[in-house]
Amino acid sequence: MNDAIRRLRFCYWLGAIVDLAAGVQMLCPPLFAFGMGLGAFHPGADYRYAMGMGASLMFGWTALLLWADRKPIERMGVLPLTVAPVIAGLALNQAAGVSSGFISLVAAAPIWALQTALTGLFLHACFRARDALRRGGGALK
């Protein structure tokens, strides 16, 4: 298998695993509280409703990334879409959470590091695949 395709597939699967874990965390407030360093966290119905909506989208994005894996070159545009608006939007939401005092900077920092690493990996994989397509006359197998 071509190196560019291998990189794309790695990114699709890594993104799917991270999104699946985030969706599960959204549906399980004790997991969220543990991950964010929140002591006595007892969310109300409004929080659970909003997180249920968010988890649905996370699980949908998980499926989208796995779908992209089936035709990695043809669907590589899914990775930049994962970076913006998905990862960028989540990072901005975390910044709002830190700014409001809901979560600490210490809790947000590792998540931002993960988001930064995913952004770099996803964009690098796309650029490498596009370069390989240009050099190879459009054929990657």
Per-residue pLDDT tens for 108-132? 999 999 999 999 999 999 999 999 8
Angle, helices 3-27 vs 105-135, to 10°: value is: 150
Tokens coding 87: 């990862």
pLDDT in the model for residue 1: 55
Per-residue pLDDT tens for 10-24? 999 999 999 999 999
> Coil, strand or helix: which one is 116?
helix
Query: 139 vs 43, which has greater pLDDT?
Result: 43
Residue ranges in the chain assigned as alpha helix (H): 3-27, 29-36, 45-70, 78-81, 88-99, 105-135
Tokens coding 21: 């874990």
pLDDT in the model for residue 8: 98
Kindly report the backbone phi and psi dihedral angles of residue 42, in degrees, each rounded to the nearest multiple of 5, phi listed first: -130, 85
